[in-house]
């Protein structure tokens, strides 16, 4: 058994589109200048789906999360909104605790803000489309035969005195 993470964009009409996971991960990497021009200035609904695999075939969905991602005018991840969502998620790690009869409700408020501004809930149609797309068998891509480029001899590095 293995697992796979699949990323989807959910459009306004509840259709889904597979989005490259590597590109999604690079969006939040500050060292990369990754842009998605078609998302410039938009707030985009992403679904992250964790799928259990058996013999490379999807057998069940383990978890789904639904993120609202804000992009700047150039199609880059809006850093301020992203940082705010991370701060809220981290603050939720400190669960609500009662001390001396007082309840610290900050986690409750953080959860509400996170849910209202950085998460979304799928409609039945979107959820059906996501399950269908996530459980679809992987596309079989014909492998290209490995061929060596002709014309240039292979070079081998040899340390001086090692011959």
The predicted-structure confidence for 4-46, as pLDDT tens digits, reads as follows 999 999 999 999 999 999 889 888 776 567 889 999 999 999 9
Cα distance between residue 48 and residue 18, in whole Å: 10
Position 115 scores a pLDDT of: 85
pLDDT at 17: 95
Radius of gyration (Cα) for the chain, nearest Å?
Answer: 23
Domain ranges of the chain: 2-77+119-135
Cα→Cα distances 106→88, 114, 123, Å? 10, 12, 29
pLDDT at 93 over 70: yes
CB 64 within 8 A of CB 50: yes
Residue 135 pLDDT exceeds 80: yes
Q: Is 41 left (phi over 0), alpha (psi -120 to 50) or beta?
A: left
Residue 56 has pLDDT above 90, yes or no: no
Overall pTM surpassing 0.95 (yes/no): no
Q: Quote the CA–CA distance of 51 and 1 in Å, as a whole number.
A: 11
Asked whether 61 and 134 are in contact (CB, 8 A), the reply is: yes
Q: Give the per-residue pLDDT at 71.
A: 92
Strand partners, 4: 51
pLDDT at 16: 95
Reported confidence tier of residue 82, pLDDT bands at 50, 70, 90: confident
Confidence check: pLDDT of 78 > 80: yes
């Amino acid at each position: 058994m293995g697992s796979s993470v699949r990323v989807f964009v959910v459009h306004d009409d509840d259709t889904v589109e597979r989005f490259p996971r590597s590109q999604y991960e690079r969006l939040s990497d500050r060292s990369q200048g990754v842009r998605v021009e078609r998302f410039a200035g938009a707030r985009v609904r992403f679904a992250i789906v964790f799928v259990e695999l058996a013999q490379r075939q999807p057998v069940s969905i383990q978890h789904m999360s639904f993120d609202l991602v804000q992009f700047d005018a150039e199609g880059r991840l809006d850093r301020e909104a992203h940082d705010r969502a991370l701060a809220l998620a981290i603050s939720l790690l400190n669960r609500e605790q009662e001390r001396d009869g007082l309840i610290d409700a900050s986690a409750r408020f953080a959860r509400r803000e996170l849910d209202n501004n950085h998460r979304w809930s799928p409609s039945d149609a979107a959820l059906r489309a996501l399950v269908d797309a996530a459980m679809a068998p992987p596309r079989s891509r014909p492998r290209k035969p490995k061929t060596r480029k002709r014309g240039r001899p292979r070079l081998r590095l040899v340390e001086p005195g090692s011959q």
